[in-house]
Structure 1
Amino acid sequence: MYVKKIIGWLFLSGLMAWTGAPGANSTESMIMVGHFSAASPEEILPRGWEPMEFKKITNHTSYVLIRDDGTMVIKAHSNSSSSGLMRRISIDPMQYPVVSWRWKTRNMLKKGDVTLKSGDDYPARIYITFAYDGARLGFFEKAKYNAAKLIYGEYPPMGAINYIWDGKAPQGTTLPNAYTARVMMVVVESGSNNLNTWVKERRNIREDYRKLFGQEPPMISGVAIMTDTDNTGEEATTFYGDITFSKE
């Protein structure tokens, strides 16, 4: 349960540091954020990615590079566990608004429920976090962020979008996370019809952020993948392919 209580705007503070990205005038058409297919079998984790673990959560999801259908991908296995894999990176969503990825999952969670704290587990999800921008906040919100910076040494993200594969909520459902409205959930896949099948996804982050938060998005501060089952006590296995950001 602890990980869910900090999922909103404190535990994601680890994604604030960044490794850099093409500038505002970049002519690159695509940013390869998760180039898993280029990894070698000897690598423990893909280059630029690191574990995202949580205090008081001792049972961690495993993330390993494997070859599936001839391509290197990330295999995540969760058994009553919770942790993620993250990439610290700064991306301008006004310039690179489209995120694309592919994933494959083996099973849905029987007790998962996107509307409940006790069901806030997903076999597959992609996090997009957004950097702090004090100009967008009122006095009291700024005070909260300043207090968090004193504790953690950096500002937590302004918010996050979670693109999830849920077992029950219909595809297209959007709602706040069960713990905080700073994290918005978007159901991009639903149910078991596509189990054990690679599914390609494409989302316009700028459009999604506008609809979910009612304003233009700030800079992206990080990307993470996560398969977790600590609340439901169940088991899940998911595979993640390359993750890219591109111009429209």
Structure 2
Amino acid sequence: MLGSVLALLLATPAAAAPTVMIGRFAPGSLAAWEHKSFKGETRYRLVGHGNARTLEATCDASASAIALRRKVDLRRTPVLRWEWRVDHIYPGLDGTTRAGDDYPARVYVIHDGGVMLWRTRAVNYVWANSEPRGAHWPNAFTDKAMMVAVQSGPPADPDTWVAESRNVRADFKRFYGLDLHQIDGVALMTDCDNSGRSGRAEYRNIRFTAH
């Protein structure tokens, strides 16, 4: 009997680790994503075909974002994973200033304070222009967003996808002293309005995982 039970356990596949998909884009649609314009319009569109489809973002002295309202349980899936690539950075910008608050690629995670807007907080993972990788600083326009340089400087190869992962629950605790049980949305932005330049980035496989 014991041998039969052990054989059954060994034959039963382990339960898959939970994954919350935010932006697979292949196949996909942007219908659930809301558009928010700050200055002009960054163009967001799906490119490619079938399982090779990705989200392309192009800006020309513009800044607008797309956001997906989605509650994610950080107790079960605290790690945000995504892949991105950029054509180029914006040399010479100081990201700690308003004039330099342009990035070829950004991924936001947002905790919504609801009617208590002062409780809203965001962590903004960016491909920085000059700030070193791993650096963090308050957003130049609001103290409710923390900027984190996940990548920095020109891409080694604009055609190569770069995979990222961040423990969002740990980051909110580190930057705000908040032990969050959930976040309420994710936003993406490629912007170049402050510097008047142009940029292009691609995003894919945005999801939350257990580890």
Which position in structure 1 is the counterpart of 2:43? 62
Structure number, greater radius of gyration: 2
CA root-mean-square deviation: 2.1
Alignment gaps of 5+ in structure 1: 1-26, 40-44, 134-144, 147-154
Structure 1 residue aligned with 2:24, among 7, 27, 35? Answer: 35
The code of the aligned residue for 1:113 comes to: D
4+ residue runs over 6 A deviation: none
The code of the aligned residue for 1:36 comes to: F
Shift of 1:233: 0.3
Q: TM-score, normalised by structure 2?
A: 0.85
The code of the aligned residue for 2:33 comes to: W
Structure 1 residue aligned with 2:138, among 152, 155, 176? Answer: 176
The code of the aligned residue for 1:244 comes to: R
Structure 2 residue aligned with 1:123, among 92, 104, 107? Answer: 104
Which position in structure 2 is the counterpart of 1:185? 147
User: Following the alignment from structure 2 to structure 1, what is the Cα–Cα distance between the partners of residues 119 and 53?
Assistant: 31
CA contact (8 A) 2:104 2:200 kept: yes
Quick one: percent identity of the two aligned structures? 34
Which position in structure 1 is the counterpart of 2:13? none
Residue 208 of structure 1 pairs with residue 171 of structure 2: yes
Residue 164 of structure 1 pairs with residue 164 of structure 2: no
Shift of 1:68: 7.7
Aligned length: 195
CA contact (8 A) 2:87 2:155 kept: no
Shift of 1:232: 0.5
Higher strand proportion (structure 1 or 2): 2
CA contact (8 A) 1:129 1:223 kept: yes
Structure 2 residue aligned with 1:223, among 169, 180, 186? Answer: 186
The code of the aligned residue for 1:93 comes to: L
Per-residue Cα deviation, 1:102-125 (whole angstroms, up to 9, x for no partner): 001001012432111111010000
Alignment gaps of 5+ in structure 2: 1-15
CA distance 1:68–1:228, change in 2 (3 Å): farther
Per-residue Cα deviation, 1:6-44 (whole angstroms, up to 9, x for no partner): xxxxxxxxxxxxxxxxxxxxx9700111121222xxxxx
User: Following the alignment from structure 2 to structure 1, what is the Cα–Cα distance between the partners of residues 175 and 83?
Assistant: 23
Aligned partner of residue 118 in structure 1, secondary structure: coil
User: Following the alignment from structure 1 to structure 2, what is the Cα–Cα distance between the partners of residues 234 and 192?
Assistant: 15
The code of the aligned residue for 2:205 comes to: D
User: Following the alignment from structure 1 to structure 2, what is the Cα–Cα distance between the partners of residues 187 and 38?
Assistant: 30
Per-residue Cα deviation, 1:139-188 (whole angstroms, up to 9, x for no partner): xxxxxx65xxxxxxxx4762000000011100000111112221000100
